[in-house]
Amino acid sequence: MAQINPSILSADFARLADEARAVEGSDWLHVDVMDNHFVPNLTLGVPVVESLRKATDTPLDCHLMIEDPDRWAPQYVEAGAGSVTFHVEAAAAPVRLAREIRAKGARASMALKPATPIEPYEDLLGELDMVLIMTVEPGFGGQAFLDIMLPKIRRTRDLVARHGLDVWVQVDGGVSASTIERCAEAGADVFVAGSAVYGAEDPAAAVRGLREQAVA
Ligand code: DX5
Ligand code: ZN
């Protein structure tokens, strides 16, 4: 079953609680954490995640676009994240970090920027609950979907299958009504959508529409 994770990066940050509740019924709420070092943008940190946790029953899918995730990721689990994604390009010890996230009770996920291949990390898949394939350069919402990432989605899905693992394959960046079917066909099963959800007149209806398209 396809999962749709609205990204609050495209929401109104002055009304985060209302914006989170506007998409209740979605599988997860995608929370983009940016530190202005790993990416050229700055968003929010641990206290905001703690507050969001109290504001909605939707589980939080925290995507850390930050330096030193080895230090910070465990704090996002403590803040209430149900899933924590670190960028492998920034992690000093990804295996230790994935194990720590799981030991603290959250799902552990590894993200790849567009220029980062999956193959060097094949042996890490068994330590993970999800792999996030970025389909834009991380940092901003509303960018155009990179079609050239479709083969990497497929290769990731194939590696997961070859190892007989239950690892979700998430896509993030430019996912919309016009790109989600291609992502699903390539093997993605978790879809992050920012502007396609919060830019819609009715965000909850946009989530339902995307979910229907993803299984089509
Ligand atoms: C971008 C973020 C995405 C972003 C996606 O770096 O990781 O989660 O919110 O936004 P859209 O769906 O508008 O591309
Ligand atoms: Zn994201």
Rounded to the nearest whole angstrom, what is the distance from the C-alpha of residue 192 to the centroid of ligand 2? 7
Could you list which residues have their CB under 5 Å from ion ligand 2? 32, 63, 172
* Distance separating alpha carbons of residues 190 and 169, to the nearest angstrom: 6
Residue 12 annotated in active site? no
Q: Say whether 173 counts as a known binding-site residue.
A: yes
- Ligand 1 — pocket residues by CB below 6 A? 7, 9-10, 30, 32, 63, 136, 138-143, 172-175, 192-196
Q: Say whether 37 counts as a known binding-site residue.
A: no
The complex scores an ipTM of 0.99
Residue 147 annotated in active site? no
Catalytic residue among 27, 61, 172, 189: 172
**The predicted structure's pLDDT at residue 8:** 97
The 130-134 sheet, strands edge to edge: 3-6, 190-193, 168-172, 130-134, 107-112, 83-87, 60-65, 29-34
Catalytic residue among 27, 32, 35, 61: 32
Q: Say whether 83 counts as a known binding-site residue.
A: no
Average pLDDT across the chain, whole number: 97
Exposure string of 77-99, with b = 16+ CB inside 10 Å and e = fewer, is: bebbbbbbbbbbebbeebeebbe
For atom 6 of ligand 1, which residue has the closest CA? 138
Q: 3-215 in CATH: which number?
A: 3.20.20.70
Share of the chain above pLDDT 90, in %: 98
3-class DSSP state of 31: strand
* Distance separating alpha carbons of residues 61 and 26, to the nearest angstrom: 12
Closest ligand 1 atom to 193 CA:
12
Whether pLDDT at 76 is above 70: yes
**The predicted structure's pLDDT at residue 39:** 98
Q: Say whether 172 counts as a known binding-site residue.
A: yes
**The predicted structure's pLDDT at residue 126:** 98
For atom 4 of ligand 1, which residue has the closest CA? 141
The pair of structure tokens assigned to 67 is 């330096």
Strands 130-134 and 107-112: parallel
Task: Summarize the confidence of residues 42-61 as an average pLDDT.
Answer: 98
Top pLDDT among 25 and 67 is at 67
User: pLDDT band at residue 1, thresholds of 50, 70 and 90?
Assistant: confident
Task: Summarize the confidence of residues 99-127 as an average pLDDT.
Answer: 98
